[in-house]
Amino acid sequence: MNPKEIYLSKPWLKYYSPGVPEEVEIPDISVPQLFEEVVGKYGKKTFVIFYGKKLTYLEIKDSVDRMATALSDLGIKKGHTVALYLLNSPQYIISYLAILRLGAKVTPISPVYTSIEVKHQVEDSEAKTAICQDILYDNLDKANVDLDQVILTSIGEYLPALKKLFGGKGTQAKEYEGVPAATVESITKYKAYGFQDLLKKYPPNPPQVEIDPARDLAVLPYTGGTTGLPKAAMLTHRNLIALTNQTQSFWTIFDEGKEVVIAFLPFFHIYGQVVVMLSGMSQGSTLVLFTTPDIEEIISAMERYQASAFYGVPTLFQFLTEYEKTDRINWKKLKLIACGADTLHDSTTSAWEKRTGATIFEGYGMTETTAVSHSSPYERPKKGSFGIPIPNIKAAIIDHESTEFIPVGEVGEMILNGPNIMQGYWKRPEGTAESMIEIDGDIWLRTGDLVSMDEEGYFHFFDRKRDLIKYKGYSVFARHVEEVLYQHPQIKAAGVVGVPDPAVGAIIKAYVVLESEARGKISEEEIIAFCHEKLAHYKVPKIIEFRGELPKTDVGKVSRRELREESEDA
């Protein structure tokens, strides 16, 4: 078979767990219809536990219908965009489902965005209404955007009485401590409404809105802005419904209506929003909800509520390998411990397994794939691989400078096809044309990731295409160099970039964070010598810069973009 035929034959299917189909039927329903079905089955079951406060599916539905009625009265119609500028909270779930109930679309804004980034997203998405956390309002005010109205809410609205008495201690990240909380009365720039006031004022009687799942947009999540300003992926109701069905069919270990999911991953991010919030909802799970990842609170809740699923990111698992209270949990009892959003270093995997005896199941996804395209099969995860495509996904590797399919085992750009792939980029026809390509009648997403597939159909990540460093004609993967740096016992974190140089193309530079006891005791020359022992000469960094910390993205990745910008400006 030629390379294309091999990829299309899906060699990974032989490693699917028993009962996992090659294709799963995607029901022709909207997200609100799915929610109605779940409420019909599990209405009296607890949907959310928020710092001890329990809310059933029926209680959440009542609030969703009231908020949808309120939003409709405030002028929100099908096709409109509403900005969600919230921390994880019951209000997030209620607002999200209420907006979709009206055929409008959500644009979720990161709480850590600067006012400039907030302004870009609100204006670019054409949002005229924002549902905003009271402690985040000051940033929205500074953004000075043109809004018709703001709906204000606070964490305390859903806290149990005892938590309210102590001022909600433990429910907000330290960076928000002391931040002034806006009130409806204090807002003069926009028409302002109180979230709870609207729920009390309006009946649970929203208008009936016809939604075409395949065509109508549900969410405009913005990518991280790795090249230029962030841009929004257009995700339809069908994209969201497809992904929940694809992942549910892949993870046959879950019992519908019986699982308890720890929900601390931020819902503004596609990983937390779809894999945790929507997929948890679709299976009638209970979500133990946290505004921010307070590890002590999370560990306590896992014990108390007997969690069965835990979704994290590499930096969290690295932290847990060293955290003193990690052993309070019998991690082997959990049905699934999953990792996504960034590359899981081998050193973290080994340390985790040694500490807990449990397996982390790595996955892969993008905003453009509605969060997931690959995951490690339950019976046969492979170390160093992010897994195999989930049902309904076609995956292949092409030459990163053309559309030619390349042989198995070679590194190229991964392309994907499936019902969970976005419709394109919002108001970015050029970006859509670059990313969504047609090959022999099929539309494929160019992921921008340099990947290989082995003979068994497992996929292995090498680097982002933009992070490939060209040194004297050699191709150097930044991630490969970082992996070696992480093997050094005194290196806590590392980021590698190419610094443009007309003589050689790009010089390899490593930013390194040392363990506290090693700072001032290890030199740049020692790090370079360590790399010489483990890397070909052309892969060895020429410049080492020690840092106290490295810039991170809003989900904890080392931000190579910021490091690149710093090195180019130096």
Determine the Cα angle at 107 with ends 244 and 442, to 5°.
Answer: 55
Tell me the pLDDT band of 558, cut-offs 50, 70 and 90: confident
Contact (CB, 8 A) for 340 and 365 = yes
Q: Across residues 135-147, what is the average pLDDT?
A: 96
pLDDT, position 557: 79
pLDDT tens figures, 302-342 = 999 999 999 999 889 989 999 999 999 999 999 999 999 88
Helix axes 478-487, 346-356, angle to 10 degrees: 40
3-class SS of residue 411? coil
Q: How far apart are CA 507 and CA 472, in angstroms?
A: 9
Q: How far apart are CA 196 and CA 151, in angstroms?
A: 10
CA dist 254 → 86, 249, 261 (Å): 29, 10, 11
Contact (CB, 8 A) for 495 and 315 = no
pLDDT, position 165: 47
Tell me the pLDDT band of 168, cut-offs 50, 70 and 90: low
pLDDT, position 209: 98
Q: Give the distance, in angstroms, between the CA of residue 302 and the centroid of all CA atoms in the same chain.
A: 21
Tell me the pLDDT band of 226, cut-offs 50, 70 and 90: very low
Contact (CB, 8 A) for 83 and 92 = no
pLDDT tens figures, 498-526 = 998 888 889 999 999 999 999 999 999 99
pLDDT at 185 over 60: yes
Residue of 275, 280, 323, 277 whose CA lies nearest to 299: 323
CA 272, 275, 279, 283: dihedral to nearest 10 degrees?
A: -110
3-class SS of residue 551? coil
Domains (range + CATH), the chain: 3-25+239-463 (3.40.50.12780), 57-210 (3.40.50.980), 474-569 (3.30.300.30)
pLDDT, position 174: 55
The reply to whether the predicted model has a pTM over 0.75 is yes
State which of 96-110, 151-165, 311-325 shows the largest mean pLDDT. Answer: 96-110
Strands 309-312 and 336-339: parallel
